[in-house]
Structure 1
Amino acid sequence: MQFPSSLPTLHQEFIEQCLPKLAKDTRIVGVAVSGSYADNSLDIYSDIDLLIAVEPEEFGAIMNDRLSIISNLGEMAAGFTGEHVGEPRVMITLYGPDALHVDFKFVKVDDVTTRVDEPVILWARDSRLAKGLGKGKGQYPPVDPQWIEDRFWVWVHYAGTKIGRGEYFEALEFLSFLRVQVLGSLALQQAGLEARGVRKIEQLLPDFAKELRMTVAVPERESLLNATEHAITIYQNLRNDITECCKAQALAMNYLHKLRNTNTE
């Protein structure tokens, strides 16, 4: 197998030693790799995202056996399922001795047509994996500006209530949510990039990343109000081609204004 010249030794060695082990399981049809490997941006800090295509009729059995399967691929220190990221088919692992993060996504070979990127095939038992990946095109889900606008001002009011009550850490979480789900995603999408929250935004949109710094607060009332107002300004500069929720915006902005003028001493 020919690996990219930029592939770190740690990642290459893991792939080289695990592929023959996976190939011995006749229930596995093929193995592909996605993520930063597929788009040629993998570095020493990257994890490995492996797609394990399996015989459809064996999928249930593989799901039952998958912890055993991946534990035999190296010095696995931890492994768990990905329900917390909305993908129970994924096993998230950490291998020693050099702390390598590897994600395994087990799918029926018939289901590989539905994907968010374009995996690179590392090994295949037959042509089915290639045929499946040859259908359609991997696309990361775009954000819908109107969907965001319909919710944004209610979210802002929610943040205001938490600041007003003194739930400052909850308000900090809200600002993080806005950066990922709204601000970063909209900015990346408008730049013609995938709407992946704030992933690599420092490299992709350095000037915008500087703006985002103004939305980072400390758990104090004044800092949180300032950061929320900066987030609103950034959002208003990003939104376009939508029907604005003027009444909700006015209510939320008035609420923040009252908080500004409320004596908390």
Structure 2
Amino acid sequence: MIQQEFASNAVKVLEPDDQVIGLAVAGSWLTDELDEFSDLDLILVTKEKISDDKNLMLEYAGKLGHLLSGFTGEHVGEKRLLICLYDHPLLHVDIKFLTLEEFHDRVETPTLLLDKNHQLEKVIHHSEAIFPHPDYQWIEDRFWTWIHYALTKAGRGEYMEAYDFLGFLRMVVLGPLLHIKNGTLPRGVRKVETELSSNDLADLLHTIPEVYNKRSILNSIEHAVSLYRQLRTELYGKNVHLLTDTEKRVMEYFKQLS
């Protein structure tokens, strides 16, 4: 596949570089789910820190193929990431630039493609991959105020903003909680079509308005609330303080608006 060919070429290009400690690959490569639509997630580990210099990141990326475009990943909270689009063939490649010390902290254990003196292997052996899980109290503290916000937008006729906000709720709250319920990693709404049960996917789809109008948006907000309550009951422990007064008042407002 083109991803494997690109990775194999990257190893050949980077191996002679004395600054390079190793190259690893993560993402769908690890679960044998690569297909024609997959991007390639590379981790380049170097002796000196490269991620502070965008031009140097681009210089390295340019050595690996016909680079069409590259930009850093501040929008996803990771400035050490260079998001690249290559041509011949057309391929999306994410390259994370790390030092050996930074390689200790990871959300998954990558496959090693290049590992000079087994340095990356030693780090993996003496550290643990930890995928971040949502903070249930953080969600509960915000959820009902978020619902009120969405209701005010629907009430005012700002339907597009209400649409977008429901998408935000699916990405930040409902998707991750459903993934946890189904025993998969809480990666927003990634692969919900295949990783959730059919009933859970149907519940999530009900949070998407069918028609661009107030009634449909309010119905979707109501479904989002119902789904959150179900997930909260199933997943939250007794140590999570529920904002019952806030919830009650917001739902009273919902009834008034309806």
Using the TM superposition, give the Cα deviation of residue 58 of structure 1 relative to its aligned residue in structure 2, in angstroms: 4.7
Match of 1:222 in 2: 215
Cα distance per residue 1:74-101 (max 9 Å; x no partner):
1111111000000000000111133211
Q: Out of 178, 184, 189, which is 1:198 matched to? A: 189
Structure 2 counterpart of 1:38, one-letter code: L
Using the TM superposition, give the Cα deviation of residue 60 of structure 1 relative to its aligned residue in structure 2, in angstroms: 6.2
Compute the TM-score of the two structures, normalised by the length of structure 2: 0.92
Q: Is the 8 A contact 1:63 1:106 kept in 2?
A: no
Q: State the secondary structure of the residue aligned to 2:104.
A: coil
Q: Is the 8 A contact 1:179 1:197 kept in 2?
A: yes
Match of 1:5 in 2: none
Match of 2:144 in 1: 153
Using the TM superposition, give the Cα deviation of residue 162 of structure 1 relative to its aligned residue in structure 2, in angstroms: 0.8
Q: State the secondary structure of the residue aligned to 1:122.
A: strand
Q: In the alignment, is residue 175 of structure 1 matched against residue 166 of structure 2?
A: yes
Structure 2 counterpart of 1:224, one-letter code: I
Q: Is the 8 A contact 2:51 2:57 kept in 1?
A: no
* Residues 147 and 125 (structure 1), Cα distance of their counterparts in 2 relative to 1, 3 Å cut: same
- How well do the aligned residues superpose, as a CA RMSD in angstroms? 1.6
CA distance in 1, matches of 2:51, 2:224: 45
Match of 1:263 in 2: none
CA distance in 1, matches of 2:191, 2:52: 37
Match of 1:127 in 2: 118
Q: State the secondary structure of the residue aligned to 2:212.
A: coil
CA distance in 1, matches of 2:219, 2:52: 53
CA distance in 1, matches of 2:223, 2:129: 34
Q: Is the 8 A contact 1:30 1:125 kept in 2?
A: yes
Cα distance per residue 1:36-74 (max 9 Å; x no partner):
11222222211110000110x454686541101111211
Structure 2 counterpart of 1:235, one-letter code: Y
Match of 1:24 in 2: 16
Q: Is the 8 A contact 2:20 2:45 kept in 1?
A: yes
Q: State the secondary structure of the residue aligned to 1:215.
A: coil
Q: Is the 8 A contact 2:43 2:97 kept in 1?
A: yes
* Residues 251 and 60 (structure 1), Cα distance of their counterparts in 2 relative to 1, 3 Å cut: closer
Structure 2 counterpart of 1:127, one-letter code: H
CA distance in 2, matches of 1:94, 1:148: 35
Match of 2:78 in 1: 87
Q: How does 1:244-259 map to 2 (within 5 A)?
A: 244-259=242-257
CA distance in 2, matches of 1:157, 1:211: 21
* Residues 108 and 164 (structure 1), Cα distance of their counterparts in 2 relative to 1, 3 Å cut: same
Structure 2 counterpart of 1:164, one-letter code: G
Choose 150-159 or 57-66, whichever is displaced more.
57-66
Q: Out of 5, 27, 34, which is 2:26 matched to? A: 34
Match of 1:4 in 2: none
Cα distance per residue 1:99-125 (max 9 Å; x no partner):
211000000111111011110100112
Q: Is the 8 A contact 1:77 1:93 kept in 2?
A: yes
Structure 1 counterpart of 2:224, one-letter code: A
CA distance in 1, matches of 2:11, 2:138: 43
Q: State the secondary structure of the residue aligned to 1:29.
A: strand
Structure 2 counterpart of 1:87, one-letter code: E
Compute the TM-score of the two structures, normalised by the length of structure 1: 0.90
Gaps of 5+ in 1: 1-8, 261-265
CA distance in 1, matches of 2:185, 2:20: 31
Cα distance per residue 1:195-242 (max 9 Å; x no partner):
111111111114211111111114321111010000100111100323
Match of 1:109 in 2: 100
Structure 1 counterpart of 2:257, one-letter code: L
Match of 1:45 in 2: 37
Q: In the alignment, is residue 11 of structure 1 matched against residue 9 of structure 2?
A: no
CA distance in 2, matches of 1:256, 1:170: 17
Q: Is the 8 A contact 2:170 2:189 kept in 1?
A: yes
Cα distance per residue 1:13-47 (max 9 Å; x no partner):
11121211112221110000011112222222111
Match of 1:72 in 2: 63
